[in-house]
Structure 1
């Protein structure tokens, strides 16, 4: 269960993703592809302190927020890569969603 702060964060990230998607010129093609393919999710957590969090602590909320913004069921994601970095000056999350060659198992 998410805290109020977690729900707010998830909603804000989902909104940012949705706005970015609305500006994407090939969004219809992109959405069609991600709805019918196996996907790989790569997340790079760049924390202000290397000891601040575990590498997997933000996975679910980041994945859920991204998928909510894309209108995507997260069961399309069949591969996950997580990385933890330190960046004292610009903490952030970097996300890459990639199509995989293999079809989604049915």
Structure 2
């Protein structure tokens, strides 16, 4: 998304680099994995969700909403992830069941290590006619961990 500036009370704020996208709801945790010959494997539904995320990201790149410079900034920054889930009913699904697959799919699609995500916000809403997932991924330039330690070997 293009950088925006706002003038509020004489102070100019520059919006942090951010990608906003709307996706189908991710599969529930029970739909994400199967056991085949004693091994846990990703299901066809889970692989399809990841393909959809990659396709949406490629479309945003073609539209110029995700530039190479923005992708590079995401690769070098700490990140905040917001997931706004719109379910068909209030109690059928857990809010956090689609977190990991969504985080993985977005980060893989952008070539980012998901260990760069340091802030996550999850919200649950109801939209029985149009269930979907609204996502924001934002670069955090000034993130610092509470206390840093030096490891002495």
Structure-1-length-normalised TM-score: 0.87
Residue 44 of structure 1 and its aligned partner are, at CA, apart by 0.6
The higher-RCO structure (CA 8 Å, 6+ apart) is 1
Identify the match of residue 63 of structure 1 among 103, 110, 124. 103
Structure 1 residues 90 and 67 mapped into 2: Cα distance closer, same or farther (>3 Å)? same
* Matches of 2:42 and 2:144, distance apart in 1: 29
Q: Contact 1:67–1:73 (CA<8 Å) still a contact in 2? A: yes
Cα deviation per residue 1:52-89 (whole Å; 9 max; x = unaligned)?
21010000111111112212111111111111110112
Q: Which moved more, 1:13-22 or 1:58-67?
A: 13-22
What is the CA RMSD across the aligned residues, in angstroms? 2.0
Residue 20 of structure 1 and its aligned partner are, at CA, apart by 1.2
Please list every run of 5 or more consecutive structure 1 residues that lacks an aligned counterpart in the other structure: none
1:18 aligns with 2:58: yes
Residue 45 of structure 1 and its aligned partner are, at CA, apart by 0.8
Q: Which runs of 4+ in 1 moved over 6 A?
A: none
Structure having the larger proportion of residues in strand: 2
Larger radius of gyration: 2
Residue 2 of structure 1 and its aligned partner are, at CA, apart by 2.1
Please list every run of 5 or more consecutive structure 2 residues that lacks an aligned counterpart in the other structure: 1-40, 149-153
